[in-house]
Amino acid sequence: MSQNPFLLPYVTPHQTAPFDKIANVDFMPALKEGMVEGRREVADIASNPAAPTFENTIVALERSGDLLGKVTSVLFNLNSAETTPELQQLVKEASLLLSEYHNDISLNEPLFARVKAVYDQRASLTLDPESAMLLEKSYKRFARNGANLDETGKARIREIDKELSQLGLQFGENALKETNSFVMPIADEKDLAGLPDYVREAAKATAKEKGLEGWTFTLQAPSYGPFMQHADNRELREKLYLAYNGRSFHGDENDNSAIIQKIVALRYERASLLGYETHADFVLEDSMAGSRDKVQGFLDELVTYARPAAERQLAELTAYAKAHRFPEDTLQAWDSSYYADKLKKEKYDLDDETLKPYFKLDNVLNGAFALAEKLYGITFRERSDIPVYNPEVQTFEVFDADGTFLAVFYGDYFPRTGKRSGAWMNDVRGQRMEAGENIRPHIINVCNFTRPIEATRAGDSASESKPSLLTFGEVTTLFHEFGHALHGILANSQYESLSGTNVPRDFVELPSQVMENWCYDPEALKLFARHYQTDEVIPNELIEKIRVSQNFMAGMATLRQLRFGLVDMYYHSQKPTGETVTAVEDRVDAVANLFPRVAGVATSPAFSHIFAGGYSAGYYSYKWSEVLDADAFAFFEEKGGLDNKAAADSFRRNVLERGGSEKPMELYKKFRGREPSPKAMLRRSGLLAE
């Protein structure tokens, strides 16, 4: 029997992926075997002599491809969190094969004929809402992938999909290379002026790790963010800003400008072939928003609230900077975080250095677990015998209130060379019902937080060891991704393709952003915010400062997010203009950027969300979901916060468990009792005058 771990039964706890036994050489043979098996299953469905029914066609198709799913879930998770050049090459080869495989299914005429036959009789079928949704999604999956096209059109769809898969991978690889390749060594301690001890210690550890003297800063978030926020040396802030915001925009082999033009053009062509006016129309057809006009109107309306507030806040920030001997006439983008941090300290007597001791990573994670238990009755128990892909990864079993096993949860929290930047949630196994058994999911949270500091004793330099201490922004990031994890952990659907986070893009951020709200709740904070040295619970005074400072510079932050959404929509909601990256961003900046444009920088070439991820024509969903989460959290607050069992039970039952089993607005109304109102979000952000 083959020793390829993918082709053997998993004998690990809960049949988790045997990461410790999987080698790169295992992927391609298992992938090809999975395709053979999947094609055989599809052929059996397409050639079934029995009349097409929901069970023998739609459900059978849903259940096919199990082995292939096992392989690809591990492959693409590793490529995001633990990649190597060899693995990246494997992913490129696999993506070409997968593109062809999926097109072979979606363009299979006899198979589509059976799917269409079931779909055409949908009105006479007695299907439950989730099964009706599966039927609709199954038919649209074929139609949206060219099943109704002629042979010429189908052939072109195949070519486009193959090219897009490769371009997206190359875009991500280029951005990762740019992030990893830049280092800013500092030899003179005077250039560290303004930096808190924790930032200096981390930079010292980074230098040691890279075999350099002194201190080293990188473009990883735990290094970049604190330097921009605290460093007195303006020239070095500018240098780091230009490096970060110029990633993949240098006219070299890692430049993504030409790739962007190709991706945008191919997406438009594909949408046109399928009968849509633009790529945005194609993407938004099944979204909660429903149309590009609705999304554009939503973004434009928010700009009318955010820009005046942002202008007032920038004026306040500029006045503060000038009062503190700022030498220039105009603040630049690399000055914003620096002076905002000082102004916040002056206004609220609050900064990250004050708060970080209360946010030890282990405590924050346990706090998220405690919050989940208090709201939903679930518990987490760490295990050390579940295989992991890196020794830093933690693993937990999750149990319901009655002791029923719910999920395996993986936590991966520190930056590495092989891990892309940012934070995300994925699954290694999705949830589904099969032969009467509830197959439970395996969920991963991946983040890039500040590492623990090891004690050093070198010459005159000495430092004490410190655990990973999070900024408040990192705390909200952990809670955000944990909200996505809960969406997966609590999934309780019949069909995997409708389970957990398999929902429209503008609905998927609701559970994650609802979780962020608890970071400002006094009762929730006291579950986990304890001083790492004294174990003192965070004082009420600091909690109040966190709450009153919640809207500090909210107008500027909102305008920045809207800028990303507007850039995305400009690329995808019209016929490609052929304009350069700079020209596109200049257009958007005229509406949604208050800082002077700087030569050599652009957001687009490292905008992996829309060019290497799944957010094209969908980045607006973060703000859209803010409307939902603010309205949803107001429901919790109306009825007692953490003690609001009715709200928690309704949110679990109608949102977290249901995945994409019904239209998102219907699920939201079942939870809330009505459609969402934007007033709660505008009020929370300080953008709505009372």
Please list, in sequence order, all residues whose beta carbon lies within 8 angstroms of the beta carbon of residue 297, skipping any fewer than 6 positions away. none
Residues 352-357, mean pLDDT to the nearest whole number:
92
> Whole-model pTM?
0.89
| Residues 208 and 141 grouped into a single domain | no
Paired with 397 in beta bridges are 381, 408
The per-residue pLDDT for 458 is 46
| pLDDT tier for residue 622 given thresholds of 50, 70 and 90 | very high
| Residues 223 and 127 grouped into a single domain | no
User: Looking at beta carbons, which pairs linking 252-256 to residues 24 or more positions away fall under 8 Å?
Assistant: 253/174, 254/174, 254/177, 254/178, 255/174, 255/605, 256/171, 256/174, 256/175, 256/604, 256/605, 256/606, 256/611
Distance CA 204, CA 462 (A): 11
Q: Is residue 92 part of a domain?
A: yes
Contact 491, 500 (CB under 8 A): yes
| Residues 133 and 190 grouped into a single domain | no
Contact 424, 459 (CB under 8 A): no
CATH number at residue 387: 1.10.1370.40
The per-residue pLDDT for 689 is 62
Residues 146-158, mean pLDDT to the nearest whole number:
96
Contact 359, 450 (CB under 8 A): no
pLDDT digits (tens, 9 = 90+) for 628-676: 999 999 999 987 889 889 999 999 999 999 999 999 999 999 999 998 8
Q: Is residue 155 part of a domain?
A: no
Q: What percent of the chain has pLDDT over 90?
A: 90
The per-residue pLDDT for 690 is 52
Cα dist from 386 to 11, 395, 397, 608, whole Å: 11, 7, 10, 31
Could you tell me the two tokens for 262? Answer: 């190709």
Over its C-alpha atoms, the chain yields an Rg (Å, rounded) of 25
Cα dist from 159 to 96, 155, 166, 173, whole Å: 10, 6, 11, 22
Statement: residue 614 has pLDDT above 70: yes
Q: Is residue 587 part of a domain?
A: no
Q: Is residue 666 part of a domain?
A: no
| Residues 76 and 118 grouped into a single domain | yes
Q: Is residue 202 part of a domain?
A: yes
| Residues 105 and 37 grouped into a single domain | yes
The per-residue pLDDT for 455 is 58
Paired with 420 in beta bridges are none
Contact 649, 514 (CB under 8 A): no
Question: Could you say which DSSP state residue 520 is in?
Answer: G
The per-residue pLDDT for 640 is 81
The per-residue pLDDT for 523 is 95
Distance CA 613, CA 132 (A): 29
pLDDT digits (tens, 9 = 90+) for 262-275: 999 999 999 999 99
Residues 527-553, mean pLDDT to the nearest whole number:
96
| Residues 236 and 368 grouped into a single domain | no
3-class SS of residue 457? strand
| Residues 389 and 521 grouped into a single domain | yes
Residues 263-289, mean pLDDT to the nearest whole number:
97
Distance CA 57, CA 604 (A): 42
Statement: residue 461 has pLDDT above 70: no
Statement: residue 218 has pLDDT above 80: yes
Q: What percent of the chain has pLDDT over 70?
A: 98
CATH number at residue 32: 1.20.1050.40
Catalytically active residues are 481
Question: Could you say which DSSP state residue 382 is in?
Answer: E
Residue entry with tokens 């560290």:
192
| Residues 74 and 140 grouped into a single domain | yes
For residue 84, the enclosing domain spans 5-148
Distance CA 380, CA 17 (A): 19
Domain boundary among the residues 224, 245, 266 is at: 245
Cα dist from 338 to 331, 344, 421, 476, 528, whole Å: 11, 10, 22, 20, 28
Q: What is the largest CA-CA distance in the chain?
A: 83
The pLDDT mean for the chain works out to 94
3-class SS of residue 555? helix
| pLDDT tier for residue 260 given thresholds of 50, 70 and 90 | very high
Could you tell me the two tokens for 318? Answer: 């500029």
Residue entry with tokens 């520190």:
414
Residues 585-610, mean pLDDT to the nearest whole number:
96
Residues 162-187, mean pLDDT to the nearest whole number:
96
Contact 346, 338 (CB under 8 A): no
Distance CA 505, CA 620 (A): 9
pLDDT digits (tens, 9 = 90+) for 15-36: 999 999 999 999 999 999 999 9
DSSP 381-430: EEES-S--SSTT-EEEEEE-TTS-EEEEEEEE-S--TTS-SS-EEEEEE-
- Count Cα neighbours of 457 within 13 Å in the Cβ-side half-sphere: 0
Contact 239, 349 (CB under 8 A): no
* H/E stretch holding 383: strand 379-383
| Residue of 86, 25, 13 lying closest to 388 (CA atoms) | 13
